[in-house]
Structure 1
Amino acid sequence: KGIWQAVELGIWLRQRYGSTVLPVFNKDKVFILSSDSERAIETAQGVAAGLFPPSGDRVWESSYLQFWQPTPIQTAYGTIDALLRPTKVKCPAYDLANTDEETPIAAKINAEYAPMFTWLQNITGMESIDFWNINDLYDIQREVGYYCSRLEGSCPSVVH
């Protein structure tokens, strides 16, 4: 559903700004930037597919690909970008206020989800997982699903 919403956004942008949008994608005139997470890249591809539908010699012979054309998506891999990843930019005043507010919440969540955090540490090899670094695990649902499928469904109840 999410990727289709991205395609619909691209279609809407094309309809809304049609006269200012190029008729076909041109890599020398259009630069699409995404953060380096898989979900963000896929969303950018969906928007590009709706915004730049293939036409003329850009239509593939295959019926499977006739409504799609490859569109390069640039990523800000490994860089700190205030636009794409504002939470990665260091701001001491924000960090202090945020820590003061989140500390009691973190303690409660760490206690409540301790078994799950321990289980995740064991399967990921991370030294420590808690409220403060759980976001370091990207695509965790996919990883847990893959791990559980290898164990033929014998996942502990903490993940269900």
Structure 2
Amino acid sequence: TQRTRFCMIAGIRDFILFKETKMLWGFVAVVAAAAACNVVLTAVTGASFFKLGFAAQPIAHTDALWNVLGLFLAGFACVLLGGCPMRQLVLSGEGNSDSAVTLLGFIVGAAFAHNFGLASSGNGPTANGQIAVVIGIVVVTVIAYLNTYKK
């Protein structure tokens, strides 16, 4: 199994499964560095780069159901792809053409979501976005089922 990944979730998983404390300290270092950078930017610029909590964050909404469902869809689809988007990026850089096509799909999907009103905003998820998430979950579930139980 590959134990050197540039993915914080895989690092947490490796810490739990393999008791690798280096992974945990790496995760803590990334979070601490990001928090420190945001606090410094807030102090220097006067703009609010650091706001603790979920409410009133820039370009984010607090509708927990659609946050969970959207990330469930993203995670489920990435499991079927064979790894997180960062892994796809690294593999495409190593010359993996499947990962390169996957990255093109990410780019086209993002453009499609923003141009056709599927992307959420600070005001909350759009109705079309909610429909797209439900359709996406159904499609990914069907793909997983058909590819899991074929002979």
TM over 0.5: no
**Category of TM-score, reference length = shorter chain:** under 0.3
Which structure is higher in helix share? 2
Give the TM-score of the pair, scaled to structure 2.
Answer: 0.24
Give the TM-score of the pair, scaled to structure 1.
Answer: 0.23
